[in-house]
Structure 1
């Protein structure tokens, strides 16, 4: 599951069912709570270190692996290919053939088809991701423009105290400790004082 809100247990149950139906053995489980839009994911990195030629990477959905930008997807795809790891996704039935016994010709055909399908689905997943981010950003901007999204109100009393302490020459660290606020808050007030 790619976020803390998603149910990794449900995904794992689906993967276990797939494995059991085909009489396969799972070498290791990797549960990732990082975004599928980044290549810098601890569990993905561990998986890439652990895998061996001929291993199958079984994922619930292609987009768990492929919301990457084009350069990162190309790097991941190249790494998987160089390690001779095949990707099987529950939402990509053509990939299921990768865990079936077959002659070399059939396996090469399946690998070619799956490579093409994975590339297409990676492009679609990335487009969907960027479209959703863009729409979310537009919605936030619209809400701000309409006054529906203002953020948390400033603590004017505390900020006034911070301004007094800054003018009195206390260090930022002293102010942070005394007022139990963040350095960013002190920086914001200090900047206001400089521009005033």
Structure 2
């Protein structure tokens, strides 16, 4: 049985590895060793997250997917959560979350009856907490939209400030030919932001080339 820790934050400005110490403490207290960690900055409302799917691809039957909270795994809509759950079940992966005590027993050897009972309870609780996480996500999005609308109406909305230092570092790493995985690991940026900066670089390069043709 391998313990695979999944650490996620929603944006590149947040520290996805923040929960590492909490997961390490949990593992130590339960006599476990975390074999691999998968870290990414992506929204939990997105089904297709590269590191999460890499984790599941690496898993063998009986492996444990360890998260700090269920909302780190999912803020998905019901249809997308069902897809993810089906994949987890097909891989025979056990989800253990620090905020779901019923899941903790899944890290310890048990008899077949006890194991099946706790697996059933855990599956039900996972569904409940995934639904709660989705509702929390939708409520926060609604409140943010309302706040933004009020700020715009009052002429006070300026949007999120650009992290110019980080974006310049990303652009420099792209220019040096570094891989996207290396860049995301080095800067903590999301794949979405990296794709945007790469696209902007291409457009700028095309514009510079067009100007060179006009003014040789």
Question: Following superposition, which runs of at least 4 residues in structure 1 exceed 2 angstroms of deviation?
Answer: 3-10, 146-151
State the 1:25 CA deviation: 2.4
2:125 aligns to what? 117
| Cα offsets for 1:99-156 (capped at 9, x unmatched) | 11111111111111110100000001001001100110111111112222267xxxxx
SS at match of 1:30: strand
Change (3 A) 1:124 1:113: same
Aligned positions, number? 159
Q: What does 1:146-185 correspond to in 2, within 5 Å?
A: 146-149=154-157, 177=208
Secondary structure of 2:32 counterpart: coil
- TM-score (structure 1 length as normaliser): 0.74
Is 1:12 matched up with 2:38?
A: no
Richer in strand (by share): 2
| Equivalent in the alignment of 2:57 | 49
Structure 1 distance, partners of 2:59, 2:35, is 9
**Highest RCO, 1 vs 2 (Cα 8 Å, sep ≥ 6):** 2
TM-score (norm 2): 0.67
* CA RMSD between the two structures: 2.4
- Is 1:28 the counterpart of 2:36? The answer is yes
Q: Specify every segment of 5 or more residues in structure 1 that has no aligned partner in the other structure, as ranges.
A: 152-172, 181-196
Matching residue of 1:103: 111
Distance 1:88 1:146, change over 3 A: same
Give 5+ residue unaligned stretches, structure 2: 1-7, 160-203, 212-216
Deviation at 1:27, TM superposition (A): 2.4
Structure 1 residues 141 and 55 mapped into 2: Cα distance closer, same or farther (>3 Å)?
same
Larger CA Rg, structure 1 vs 2: 1
The offset of 1:82, in angstroms, is 0.9
